[in-house]
Structure 1
Amino acid sequence: MDNEQRALVGLIEQVNPRTLITIGLSVNRAGDTWQKAGKDDVCHLPLTLDQLSDPASFDQTVDLALISDTLEQIPREAGEQLLGTLRNLGVRQIAVLVSDSAPWTFRDFIALGFRRQPSSRTEAEKTLYTYNLDTYNHKRTWNNPDYWANPEMWGKAWW
């Protein structure tokens, strides 16, 4: 197992998901390694982009999605759609391993709520970005019904 695979398996072990989606060759291998070494009640779903086009097919909560070797191969709009679909499905955490030669920049990932992981550089010149649903948007003291113009409407209207 090379350094990239060890880093990916280490990330999976750190998150300790029950359900894992992988998109891309290197993360599929890491997911297979994790599942073989893991418990019986874990679920690894290696997917293609076509399988993600039907969000209704996901009837379970996904704890972690890993993506590699994908954003470099598809148009930018399709990449944004992919990441948005995963977030809309309620995936708890998303990790993207992207080549430094890809047209995606640090600012692109930050704009989508991702964080660059420190010391995530691999020998293959790739960088790891992660998105965590629980921590991407910190709680604000003013975001509650006390500060609304119509507190009786809190939680009733969604735009």
Structure 2
Amino acid sequence: MRLKLPLHKYDEAGRVKPPWLLFVCLCFLARGIVVFIASLSFRQDGGLLLSIFYPVKSQFYLSLFTAIPAILTLFFLGFRERIWKAQLGMCYLSLPIVLAYLLISDLLIQLYILRAQHFAFAWPTALTLCCVLLLGWYLVTSKHMRIMLADWRLNS
């Protein structure tokens, strides 16, 4: 049997490991929590960092709808060996739906922020929107993701 990916992309059980860009994507989608934690570390004005990324507080609260599922997905991917050993691997069948929800909701939040700024150009918003589109393009076209999802479907 010929392997579809290089050997280092498989774990000890013979399952395809998630690509490292998936972890980067999920960390990026969890940036609301990361920005919140970083703003807590500033002694002078923690709200300044939040206002750079989220000019209106309601936009920050909306970003938590994306950040919390992204953190939970990171935990599920991090503990995948324990989940496979507990015979709960079928919970990974919903991974494409969760990723689609995360990307679409983050894209909608960014468009909402742009609309609130009256479509005025701002670097943080432009970079965030560009990164969301690039990560979405990667997840849709990634050969590694397609092979991983097919392999995990077979093993569940």
TM-score (norm 1): 0.26
Larger strand proportion of the pair: 1
Larger relative contact order, structure 1 or 2 (CA cutoff 8 Å, min sep 6): 2
Greater percentage in helix? 2
